[in-house]
Chain A
Amino acid sequence: MRIDAKGMHYRPMNKMIRDAVAAGEKEFELDNIGGQRYIGGGLNDSVKITINGTPGNDLGAFMNGPRIVINANAQDGIANTMNAGEIIVHGSVGDIIGYGMRGGKLYIKGDAGYRVGIHMKEYKKQVPVIIAGGTAGDFFGEYMAGGIMILLGMNGKSPIVGDYVGTGMHGGVIYIRGKVNPYSLGKEVNCLELNEEDKKLIGSYLKEYCEHFGFDLVEVMSGNFTKLVPLSHRPYGNLYVY
């Protein structure tokens, strides 16, 4: 199904998509998208949505299955509380992406804004993954409870990541391609070097990532990665007295 979204409000457009999905439609191409919110929100089927233009906030919120390809930049709140599916952004994204994300993949070619992957979590086989090719702002992985985040810093900008990285982190793992200033790290984070298992793990995701965006996997993998893990699964366990 092809929708020309020029001048269309998100509400009738998303309703069209929901109704078509219910009727069995599997593929959507949305043209002239300009800031329409909540695309793919709450969809449970494994449909494919291609977006031509810049979609609005909360793309893929509560989403559970679809694959969305965005041929432009995207805005804030992508993959909010997403449960499963795949979002591929051929550009940069705004703030608070992957908030409370519990599964699926979010691949970003360019930069990400502030508060990426806050309270991302995992449950059994559901391990969410966020990869961004450029840099990210402050509060990267704050309160992170599970999942994998990889930041590649391939645009030459510095610093790769802002301050308060992994503050309150109590699960999951962050890989950053480059050095992170110790003063930029949250107090609850431990900084490690990669072992063979780590390399295998990120290698498998980065292979997929590089295929999407045409990057050279060998070059991406040749960077010096920093691994960040939580010091404790219970960072605030001793704060209280009964």
Chain B
Amino acid sequence: MESQLPAEFMVNVDHERCRRCKRCVINCSFSAIEFKDKVTPNHRLCVACHRCATFCPEGAITITENPLEYKYGYNWTPEIRKNILKQAESGGIILTGMGNPRPYPIYWDHMLIDACQVTNPSIDPLREPMELRTYLGAKPECVEFDSEHISLETELAPQVKLDIPVVFAAMSYGAISLNAHKALAMAAKRMGTLMNTGEGGLHEELASYTDRIIVQVASGRFGVTSKYLNNSALVEIKIGQGAKPGIGGHLPGEKVGEDISKTRMIPVGTDALSPAPHHDIYSIEDLSQLIYAIKETTDYKKPVSVKIAAVHNVAAIASGIVRAGADIVMIDGFRGGTGAAPMVIRDHVGIPIELALAAVDERLRQEGIRNRASILVGGSIRQSADVVKAIALGADACVIGTASLIAMGCRVCQKCYTGNCAWGIATQKPELVRRLNPEIAADRLCNLLTAWGHEIQEVLGSLGINAIESLRGSRERLRGVGLPQEALDILGIKHAGIGQ
């Protein structure tokens, strides 16, 4: 069928400046630029990944949205019409990548942080020690000491130390490249934080980083062995993902090459299907059974995390997870990213992480079990301010996926599922993977975390506190702006302008 879809973007080449070096042709992994006497774009294939524009030595290329795309309509938006055309031509579920781009309210941007003035002095982080360290794992009800020898008598559950409360999100080898995985592992080790295998198993080249790696157990159980579980910082059971709550994942067979086959322990070329639920988990009791199967296998030395998507009933579910024996609850908000998800799910299912976090923390406190698990949150943590606000709302630490990809070079073109990532991140094609230098990408990730660390210290200083743990759950230090009363109640914060 002839496609009626107009081009989304225009590739504008300034032929006066172009010196016909063909670098753009070589760099375009979507075949949108050819060379026919001169650089000739095929606008329809352009995804606006900006690879050509970035690498053009003359700055002769600009990418713009197609101005004549569709006639304006507030209701029948260009995107909706484009999707209808696509489905009329194919009969398929529309697949997409990365996080929800729709204009839902972003509650982070409606919360403001307090600061000290006159009566309670702020702290200068340039002069004073300022602690960002925190520990993930279950905490005891109380601690007992042997006062004679000054030693701890309480037996502590296993803890994982984080030097900065920002962890790299679960992204599987398969969804992203081995070079991207290596960069994340190197940066996690250097910065004293963690990376997460996602559900694609652990590549043997990452063996030296395992004390900084979260290993995931998902419904497909790809690459899960007792060795995999024991070679880890902690183990995470993946129940859900913010971008696609309640549905599974399909890594298409064409991406399952020799190396991925080895890591996932499945034959080359077969689809890696993760069923929507774990078929051995239909209840909190079943979840508890898997948590303790993992604890038995790891001799109770690894904290076990359970990752869920933020959904309507998230607080009650999180309470069940904690009671099931999880040491960490990871909540992924509906703006979280994905390598591939049906657009209908990504854009319309789940709830914002800010509200889910506030509801979960409040519920666990009410039930007196907040100490029994750490709370990790993700689903579009974009900047250090989001981290500070999340911790003030009650999180122990945050996870970043998209932000870490952007740091490595991602331009958020949302075509991860095509496997054509021009930046060598979301691809398995050797010629594209090569484009991402893991050493340089790791440096960029470390720089990002270092910068965020400094910024968080600045904010803590202005709040007059010298440790991130003093901020946790301190909602009194947040104020809402432009939020309805109901949202303020759920977030547990006052409106700006109200004092103590």
Interface residues of A (CB under 8 A from B): 10-11, 14-15, 18, 37-38, 41-44, 57-58, 61-64, 76-77, 80-81, 83, 96, 99-100, 102, 115, 118-119, 121-124, 126, 139, 142-143, 145-146, 168, 170-171, 233-242
A99-B280, A123-B265 are known contacts. Are A233 and B225 too (CB-CB below 8 A)?
no
Contacts A64-B225, A124-B267, A242-B418 aside, 7 further interface pairs with beta carbons under 8 A come to A58-B289, A62-B226, A139-B279, A143-B275, A171-B270, A235-B273, A242-B95
Contact A119 B293 (CB under 8 A): no
A41 near B297: Cβ-Cβ < 8 Å: yes
Whether A239 pairs with B225 at a CB distance below 8 angstroms is no
- A-B pairs with beta carbons under 8 A, tally: 141
A119 pairs with B221, CB closer than 8 A: yes
Chain B: interface size category:
35 or more
Q: Are B266 and A44 in contact (CB under 8 A)?
A: no
Q: Is the CB of A233 within 8 A of B280?
A: no
Interface residue? B253 (CB, 8 A): yes
Verify A240–B93 contact, CB threshold 8 A: yes
Cβ–Cβ contact A42 & B92, under 8 A = no
Are B297 and A145 interface neighbours, CB within 8 A?
Answer: no
B384 at the interface (CB under 8 A from A): no
- Chain A residues within 8 Å of B275, by CB: 118-119, 142-143, 168
A62–B271 contact, CB under 8 A?
no
For B297, list chain A residues within 8 Å (CB). Answer: 41-42, 61-62
How many angstroms between the C-alpha atoms of A37 and B226 in the bound complex?
Answer: 17
**30 pairs, A vs B, C-beta closer than 8 Å:** A11-B296, A37-B289, A43-B226, A61-B293, A61-B296, A61-B297, A62-B225, A62-B229, A64-B227, A77-B293, A80-B293, A81-B217, A81-B225, A83-B226, A96-B279, A96-B280, A99-B280, A102-B265, A119-B221, A121-B221, A142-B275, A143-B275, A170-B270, A234-B253, A234-B270, A235-B273, A237-B271, A240-B95, A241-B91, A241-B94
- Does A62 contact B270, Cβ atoms closer than 8 Å? no
CB–CB B224/A81 < 8 A: yes
Q: Are B220 and A119 in contact (CB under 8 A)?
A: yes
Chain A neighbourhood of B90, CB < 8 A: 241
Complex formed: what's the CA distance from A242 to B96 in Å?
Answer: 7
Residue of A nearest to B418 (CB): A242
Q: How far is the CA of A241 from the CA of B92 in the complex (A)?
A: 5
Residue contact B293 to A38, C-beta cutoff 8 Å: yes
Q: Verify A146–B267 contact, CB threshold 8 A.
A: yes
Hey, which chain A residues are within 8 Å of B224, CB to CB?
A: 62, 81, 100
Q: How far is the CA of A124 from the CA of B92 in the complex (A)?
A: 33
Residues in B whose Cβ lies below 8 Å from that of A58 = 289-290, 293
Q: Is the CB of B95 within 8 A of A44?
A: no
- Chain B positions near chain A (C-beta within 8 angstroms): 86-87, 89-95, 217, 219-221, 224-227, 229-230, 250, 252-253, 261, 265-267, 269-271, 273, 275, 279-280, 289-290, 292-294, 296-299, 342, 417-418
- B271 touching A42, Cβ below 8 Å: no
CB distance from B499 to the nearest CB of A (A): 52
Q: With the chains together, A9 CA to B39 CA distance in Å?
A: 73
Q: How far is the CA of A178 from the CA of B91 in the complex (A)?
A: 39
The docked-state distance in angstroms from the alpha carbon of A43 to that of B230 is 12
Contact present for B270 and A14 (CB under 8 Å): no
The minimal Cβ–Cβ distance linking B336 to chain A, given in whole angstroms, is 20
A77 to B280, CA, bound (A): 7
Report the Cα distance A94→B418, complex, angstroms. Answer: 42
| Complex contacts, B298 vs chain A, CB 8 Å | 42
Which B residues are in CB contact (< 8 Å) with A237?
Answer: 252-253, 271
Nearest-Cβ distance from residue A231 to partner chain B, whole angstroms: 13
Chain A min CB distance to B436 (Å): 22
Give the complex CA separation of A69 and B226 in angstroms: 21
Give the docked Cα–Cα distance between A143 and B271 (Å): 11
- Which chain B residues lie closer than 8 Å to A96 at the CB level? 279-280
Q: Are A241 and B95 in contact (CB under 8 A)?
A: yes
